[in-house]
Amino acid sequence: MVKLEQLRADLHTHSTVSDGLNPPSENIKLAKEAGLIALGITDHDSVAGIDEAIQMANIMGIEAIPGIEISTVEQGQDVHVLGYFIQYKDQRFLKQLKELEKFRDRRNAMMIEKLNELGIDIKMEEVLAKIRREDANVGRPHIAEVLIDKGIVQTMEEAFDLYLGKNGQAYVNPIRISPEEGVDIIKEAGGVPILAHPGIYDNDEMVVRLIRYGIKGIEVYHPDHSEEDEKKYQQMADQYGILATAGSDFHGSRGGIMFHAPIGTKTVSYDIVEKMKATL
C-alpha cells in the first residue's frame, strides 16, 4: 500500500490565465507525467482556469487543487499570498478579484511609462498582444516578453534584473492591499492562506508577523530559495506549528529558458494537502 508520504504534490503553478505559457489543462498533463498526485492551480489574482484544470484532472486521475496567488504590497515590495481550496465561485470573492485587477492594470501602465522615460519604445498594445486568452491577467512577464522581442534584453531573468524586478530601473509599485488584507480575502473565501516564497522578501519580521496574524503555512521549498533559506523556513514552520509547503512556481519556458522551474521540481508529500484540508 502506498503511503501518503510517497505521493507528491506541487502546490504552485501558473497558466495562460495569468502569466504562464500553458493552458491549465496542459499543466495537469505535465503533473501527471511528473508522477504527481495533485497540482495547485495558483494564477495571479485570477481563478479563471480552475474549472478547466479540474476537468482535465478528473480525466487524468489526479487532483487539481483550486487556488490563487494574491498580489499585495509591503513597504513598496511585492508580497504574494497563496490561497488553497478557496470557494472560487463566490461572488463577493470574484468582485474583490476585479478590484485587484484594476491595481494590476495601473501598475502595468506605470511600468510602461517608466520604460518610455528610459528611452525604451514599448506600448501597451504590444504587451496585450502577449496574453494567450481573453480572460488572462497581464503581468510583468508579458512586458518582459516584449523587451526580449525588441532585443533590449536576452532573457526573462535579465528583464527582471535590469528593469522589472524590485531593483530594476522601471520597477514601480503603487498602493495596493496589504499582506494581511490578502490573508483576509482568502479566509473569507473559505481558503487556506500560505505565504509564497518568503526568502525573496528579505523581511523575516514580516513573515513572523503574518504567521501571528493567521497564515496557515509558508512556502518553504521554492526554486528561488537557497538551501539555507529552506532550512531556515522549515525551522520557522516547525517553531510556529504551521505548514511547510512547496511549489515549482511553474510559468513555462520562454525562449528555451524555464521561468522558475518545471512542474514537479519542488513538491511536498500529500499528507500536507490533507493537513490543509483539515484546517478548512
Per-residue pLDDT tens over the stretch 242-261:
999 999 999 987 666 667 79
Cell readout for 169 is: 530601473
pLDDT class of 141 with cuts at 50, 70, 90: confident
For residues 268-275, average pLDDT: 96
Q: For 73-106, how does the pLDDT look when each residue is reduced to its tens digit (9 = 90+)?
A: 998 889 999 999 999 999 999 999 999 988 888 9
Average pLDDT, integer, range 220-243: 97
CA distances from 204 to 146, 195, 233 (A): 34, 12, 9
| CATH class label, 8-110+176-279 | alpha beta
Question: Phi and psi at residue 104, in whole multiples of 5°?
Answer: -65, -45
Q: Which three cell numbers stand for residue 219?
A: 512556502
Q: Which of 145, 127, 144, 149 is nearest to 136 (CA)?
A: 127
Q: Which helix (H) or strand (E) holds 55?
A: helix 50-60
Q: What is the pLDDT of residue 258?
A: 66
The one-letter amino acid code at 250 reads F
Of the ranges 3-7, 39-43, 136-140, 240-244, which one carries the lowest mean pLDDT score? Answer: 3-7
pLDDT over threshold 80, residue 276: yes
| pLDDT for the residue numbered 183 | 98
Tell me the domain boundaries of the chain. 8-110+176-279
pLDDT of residue 157: 86
User: What average pLDDT does range 128-143 have in this prediction?
Assistant: 85
Which one, of 1, 9, 2, 3, lies nearest residue 219 by Cα?
Answer: 9
C-alpha cell at 212: 501571528
**Looking at residue 104, what is its pLDDT?**
86
pLDDT digits (tens, 9 = 90+) for 175-216: 889 999 999 999 999 999 999 999 999 999 999 999 999 999
Query: Is the predicted pLDDT of residue 5 greater than 90, yes or no?
Result: no
With bands split at pLDDT 50, 70 and 90, how would you rate the model's confidence at 118?
Answer: very high
